[in-house]
Amino acid sequence: MASNERAGRVLIAYTTKGGVTEEYSSIVAGILIANGFQVEQVDLKRGKKPDITKYDHVILGTGVRMFRVYGRGKRFLKQKALKNKTLVIFLSSGIAIEDPEQARERFLRPLVEKYGLEPLEYRAFPGRMPEPGGNKDEKKDTADPEMVRKWAVELSGKLE
């Protein structure tokens, strides 16, 4: 699709420890760019904190370990300026390998309620559990980029 000014500017801010959230961020970025959005992808661990006032839509990607959503992701969601934006949140989680809905309810809904957010969407996707000493090549990858791709296509329609 040709560049579409109506599609708007999108920030994809993410924080990852194992890399899955970064992979998912890149998938979402690629699809939104293909649909005419101006996308900036920012790793919250690096560089300056992004100025969210510059964007029309804000997407936050985070992971979870030991039943705790990553602190950088939580701090990002506390920002008052988010209240004026279309907000989308996604999570990479081990629980979501079996049950994405359970992971969403368990990890994301409490944050949405605690910070009084009104996201357009918040979703959990399957992450990867490290296998100490195991041979990953023999196992099926639990991450599900195809699921994220499909979601991102739907999302790009909702953001326009």
Ligand X SMILES: Cc1cc2nc3c(=O)[nH]c(=O)nc-3n(C[C@H](O)[C@H](O)[C@H](O)COP(=O)(O)O)c2cc1C
The residues of the shown chain that bind ligand X, judged by CB under 6 A, are: 16-21, 63-67, 92-95, 103, 127-130
| Amino acid letter, residue 87 | L
**CA terminus-to-terminus distance, the chain:** 13
Between residues 3 and 135, which has the closer beta carbon with respect to ligand X?
135
Shortest gap between Cβ of 81 and ligand X (angstroms)?
24
Shortest Cβ distance from residue 157 to ligand X (Å)?
Answer: 26
Q: Which of 61, 53, 56 is nearest to 22 (CA)?
A: 61
Taking the least distance from each CB to ligand X, the nearer of 36 and 74 is: 74
Q: Quote the tokens at residue 129.
A: 């559990």
CB–CB of 24/145 below 8 Å?
yes
Q: Which residue is nearest to ligand X (CB)?
A: 127
Q: Which of 96, 156, 145, 146 is nearest to 123 (CA)?
A: 96
Least CB distance from residue 102 to ligand X, whole Å? Answer: 9
Q: What is the smallest separation between the CB atom of 34 and ligand X, expressed in angstroms?
A: 23
Nearer to ligand X, 17 or 74 (CB): 17
Q: Which is nearer to ligand X, 55 or 107 (CB)?
A: 107
Residue 98: both structure tokens together: 């079996």
Provide the β-strand partners of residue 40.
11
